[in-house]
Structure 1
Amino acid sequence: MNWTENHPLFIRERKFMILKDKKEAEDCFNRLVELFNRFVESHKNIENLKTGLKLIVNWEEHLKLKYPEREFILILSSTIAGEDVAIRFNQDTLSREYMNAIRNRLRIYIIWGIVMKIVFRNFDDSYYEQVCDFLIELSKDDRKHINWNWARWEWMFFHPEFNRDLKNKIGLWYLADELVAIATYDHYFGEAFFATKQGFEEFEKDILEYAIATFSNEGGLGVAVNDKDIHTVDLLRSYHFVKHDQTENILELALENVSLEGTISEDITLKNIDIKNDLYKLHHMLWQAFDNEGPVPVDEVTMNKQKEMLSATHLNPFLHVVAENKDGEYVAYCGLWYSPKTDYVYVEPVCTVPEYRHKGLGQVVVMEALKRGRSLGAKKAYVISDSHFYKSLGFQQHSHYMFYWHNS
């Protein structure tokens, strides 16, 4: 039995499957019990482990009465001898209008009579922390999504270029009060990220379809996928995504046994940013350091966006290190993002104004920030980059991501 392709938890269409091998049936049953126990501690209708799957007390008739508005029900049955196990998916005959009304809004899934409602919600600010926790949990289980960790989410969400007018289009899928899946754009439409918690992978098709329909722009939709994530690559290709030459690369540095000391000249002072008083100084430095042309804009709209960046929920000024020259100007900057719920820091951004480049200041602010991160409990650091600069500091290859593109 191919468990990935025939996972019984989430049903997208009518399916019929018969397991004729007794050992295969018992293996299937054990996996179902393992998943089932995530939702309930015991159930009176689980019995006779040795003979495979057995459904008792006419659940089909019971469910028709108790859950008349369900979309799908799952029926498990076996022969008396337990040699044959059938997993049957019965779909109600529902009107097209009703099916369209609940599409992408409500799914009701039943496992041995237990109802799981997968509910779609549009994002608003009240869900912000839940998204952070979802991404933290995701990176604990599997770091194939480390390129989209909670810190990247926060950096994006408060970034001046983030299109906040579209944020209610971010899709969230809930099982009761648990966030189990997400689809979001990256700063603006045209690129997207989607993921599910473990055990909810069969819902990925619905999420991907939502992302395509919602986040595509005139150029289509791009999604970055870990090179080792063959499952997601196959999923994207089934929806006619094609590989693109755009990439993302993740470097990692173990902080426990590395020297983070640096040397600075006498006319440079290291300090952390002062959120209340540094708005204009930091904005002036960032404008120059990212090679923008023309005078530094200080209009109300621009400065309000900078204030938004410094208001990021988990921004810790202690981890945002600047190099200040003798004239009181900021000339280099490293920002780190850390949550005590994780074991890593995320590096974003690092920059130096042009006239102070090639003097080692970038290395100094990064090392100082990493040293502070380590003092708070971080054991490693991640950065989205393939730059020799980070490799010279000891960062090593962690993972690589290719973009796959869907043309509208």
Structure 2
Amino acid sequence: MKIIDRNYQKEQDYDKVLSFLRREYETDPHYPGWKAQRFEDMEYRLNTMYICMGSEPWHPCVHLWEEDGAIVGLCVGERKGENFFYVKKGYEFLYPQMVEWTKNNMFVEEHGRREHTFWVCDVQRELIDILQSQQFERSDCDVHLMEHAMTDIQEPTLPEGFRFVYGTEIKDIVLKTNISHWGFNPDQEGIENTACTEANKNRARAPMFDEQFEVMIQDPNGELCSYACLWVDNDTRSAFVEPVSTREKYRKCGLGKAMLLAVLHRCKENGVTRAYVEPFDVWRENFYASAGFRTYGKMGIWTLSETI
């Protein structure tokens, strides 16, 4: 069959891409690609946030390779210049043309140079060989791919007077957004980030988003301290962690771990058999490991800088 490549069109391709990612996941739970939940998070939440911040929509960052109308290859990036490559098993021969398309279309120009950034799982050996042959270099930063088998989940414990609350109890999207945002950006404590708020308003429309898998912690005075959300895909009975944060003044109290364990219990009660997360550094890997997650792989960041 002839293989064609074309740009992603949300209206006709969104469900098609999710089906591709789910199908490959069912074949191999450690499939080196985005989970369907991450694609949906990108479509509904992060895309909205980037647009509110003045960036272009992300759709031109998604490109498909098809055989007889079925997706066999996918290039996707959170934004231009950040590229991920996935192929159906047996279609690794597509990597050279995928790399070429991405180099020609997804570069970023800075100071008279073209900057290329590819995110590649270590198991994608054929792709790594191609990048090395083209003088790409791997950075020191790794993304750790971790999973929780949903067995032996520890019981969460909280300091006296603190309690869990869920998204079904707190409907105020602005409030929930602030708690999450301030956890990642303590220098902006007390300031609303309108881009994040609009992104989370749109996230609420996502088919997989479910408020019962949002969990927060209140202190004895009723003030919210922490926020976590898991995206649950009922088709694959899997969950994806995005995000987890604790406000600076409440850190070092075990709140983040307790919150994560609480929502993992809720996921298990709802039939989830695996949960995934992708921490970007060792201390975050250690945090998730303390809650029972185990590392099954790594993703490297490969870069190439070319003079224009």
TM range (shorter): 0.7 to 0.9
- Secondary structure (helix, strand or coil) at the match of 2:81 reads strand
- Determine whether 1:285 maps to 2:285: no
The offset of 1:396, in angstroms, is: 2.0
Distance change >3 Å, CA 194–CA 140, structure 1 → 2: same
- Secondary structure (helix, strand or coil) at the match of 2:108 reads coil
Quick one: which amino acid aligns to residue 26 of structure 2?
K
- Secondary structure (helix, strand or coil) at the match of 1:378 reads coil
Quick one: which amino acid aligns to residue 196 of structure 1?
V
CA–CA distance in 2 between the matches of 1:302 and 1:361?
23
The offset of 1:402, in angstroms, is: 1.8
Hey, what does 2:293 align to over in structure 1? 395
- Secondary structure (helix, strand or coil) at the match of 1:293 reads helix
The offset of 1:276, in angstroms, is: 8.5
Give the structure with higher Rg (CA): 1
Residues 32 and 124 of structure 2 are in contact (CA less than 8 Å); yes or no, is this contact kept in structure 1?
no
Hey, what does 1:407 align to over in structure 2? 305
Quick one: which amino acid aligns to residue 151 of structure 1?
Q
CA–CA distance in 2 between the matches of 1:174 and 1:117?
8
CA–CA distance in 2 between the matches of 1:320 and 1:139?
24
Hey, what does 1:253 align to over in structure 2? 148
Distance change >3 Å, CA 402–CA 298, structure 1 → 2: closer
Hey, what does 2:3 align to over in structure 1? 118
CA–CA distance in 2 between the matches of 1:373 and 1:333?
16
Residues 331 and 356 of structure 1 are in contact (CA less than 8 Å); yes or no, is this contact kept in structure 2?
yes
Residues 180 and 244 of structure 2 are in contact (CA less than 8 Å); yes or no, is this contact kept in structure 1?
no
Q: Any idea what the Cα deviations from partners look like across 1:112-160, whole Å, max 9, x if unmatched?
A: xxxx243333222212222122122222334554462222222233222
The offset of 1:193, in angstroms, is: 0.7
CA–CA distance in 2 between the matches of 1:405 and 1:358?
36
CA RMSD after TM alignment: 2.5
Quick one: which amino acid aligns to residue 5 of structure 2?
F
Distance change >3 Å, CA 310–CA 281, structure 1 → 2: same
Higher relative contact order (CA 8 A, sep 6+): 2
CA–CA distance in 1 between the matches of 2:154 and 2:87?
36
- Determine whether 1:137 maps to 2:137: no
Query: Aligned runs of 1:89-104 on 2, under 5 Å?
Result: none
The offset of 1:228, in angstroms, is: 3.4
Hey, what does 1:87 align to over in structure 2? none
Q: Any idea what the Cα deviations from partners look like across 1:218-266, whole Å, max 9, x if unmatched?
A: 251222222233212112223332222221111222212x133112245
CA–CA distance in 1 between the matches of 2:143 and 2:178?
28
- Secondary structure (helix, strand or coil) at the match of 1:285 reads helix
**Greater Cα offset, 191-200 or 289-298:** 289-298
- Determine whether 1:153 maps to 2:39: yes
Quick one: which amino acid aligns to residue 167 of structure 2?
I
CA–CA distance in 1 between the matches of 2:5 and 2:165?
45
Residues 239 and 267 of structure 2 are in contact (CA less than 8 Å); yes or no, is this contact kept in structure 1?
yes
The offset of 1:305, in angstroms, is: 2.9
Residues 61 and 80 of structure 2 are in contact (CA less than 8 Å); yes or no, is this contact kept in structure 1?
no
CA–CA distance in 1 between the matches of 2:199 and 2:156?
33
Residues 186 and 247 of structure 2 are in contact (CA less than 8 Å); yes or no, is this contact kept in structure 1?
no
Residues 251 and 396 of structure 1 are in contact (CA less than 8 Å); yes or no, is this contact kept in structure 2?
yes
Q: Any idea what the Cα deviations from partners look like across 1:157-209, whole Å, max 9, x if unmatched?
A: 322247552413421122233222111112x2121011111232222222221
2:121 to 226, 232, 235: 226
CA–CA distance in 1 between the matches of 2:83 and 2:144?
17
TM-score (normalizing by structure 2): 0.84
The percentage of aligned residue pairs carrying the same residue is: 24
How many residue pairs are counted as aligned between the two chains?
291
Residues 251 and 383 of structure 1 are in contact (CA less than 8 Å); yes or no, is this contact kept in structure 2?
yes
Q: Any idea what the Cα deviations from partners look like across 1:94-128, whole Å, max 9, x if unmatched?
A: xxxxxxxxxxxxxxxxxxxxxx2433332222122
Unaligned runs of 5+ in 2: none
CA–CA distance in 2 between the matches of 1:243 and 1:209?
18
Query: Aligned runs of 1:265-284 on 2, under 5 Å?
Result: 265-274=159-168, 277-284=171-178
Residues 50 and 57 of structure 2 are in contact (CA less than 8 Å); yes or no, is this contact kept in structure 1?
no
Unaligned runs of 5+ in 1: 1-115
CA–CA distance in 2 between the matches of 1:324 and 1:252?
27
Q: Any idea what the Cα deviations from partners look like across 1:45-79, whole Å, max 9, x if unmatched?
A: xxxxxxxxxxxxxxxxxxxxxxxxxxxxxxxxxxx
The offset of 1:281, in angstroms, is: 0.9
Residues 213 and 267 of structure 2 are in contact (CA less than 8 Å); yes or no, is this contact kept in structure 1?
yes
- Determine whether 1:263 maps to 2:157: yes
Hey, what does 2:255 align to over in structure 1? 361
Residues 145 and 226 of structure 1 are in contact (CA less than 8 Å); yes or no, is this contact kept in structure 2?
no
TM-score (normalizing by structure 1): 0.65
Distance change >3 Å, CA 296–CA 311, structure 1 → 2: farther
Hey, what does 2:67 align to over in structure 1? 175
Hey, what does 1:184 align to over in structure 2? 76
- Determine whether 1:214 maps to 2:86: no
Distance change >3 Å, CA 301–CA 396, structure 1 → 2: closer
